[in-house]
Chains A and B, each alone.
Chain A
Amino acid sequence: MVNSSAGKRPSADTAARPAQLHSGGMIPVVAPAVGWLIPGAGHLIQKRWGRGILLMVSIVTMFILGVLMDGRIYRPNGGDILDILGFVGDVGAGGLYIVSLARGLGLEPIARATADYGSKFVIVAGLLNFISVADAYHIAIGKKP
Chain B
Amino acid sequence: MTLALSHFNAAILFATFASIVFGITQRDAMREQLRYGLYCFVMFVGGVFVAGWVMWLLRR
Q: Give the interface of A toward B (CB within 8 A).
A: 51, 54-55, 58-59, 61-62, 65, 68-70, 112-114, 117-118, 120-121, 124-125, 128, 131-132, 134-135, 144-145
Contact = CB atoms under 8 A, between A and B. Distances in A.
Given A59-B17, A65-B13, A131 B25 contact: yes
Given A58-B17, A61-B17, A113-B7, A68 B1 contact: yes
Nearest to A129: B21
A69 to B, nearest CB: 5
B1 to A, nearest CB: 6
12 contacts: A55-B24, A59-B21, A62-B13, A62-B17, A65-B13, A68-B1, A114-B4, A114-B10, A121-B14, A128-B17, A132-B25, A135-B25
A117 B28 contact: no
Contacts of B24: 51, 54-55, 132, 135
**Tier of interface size on chain B:** 10 to 19
Interface of B: 1-5, 7, 10, 13-14, 16-18, 20-22, 24-25, 28-29
A92 to B, nearest CB: 12
Contact of B10 (A117, A144, A145): A117
Given A131-B25, A132-B25, A144-B28, A69 B18 contact: no
B3 A128 contact: no
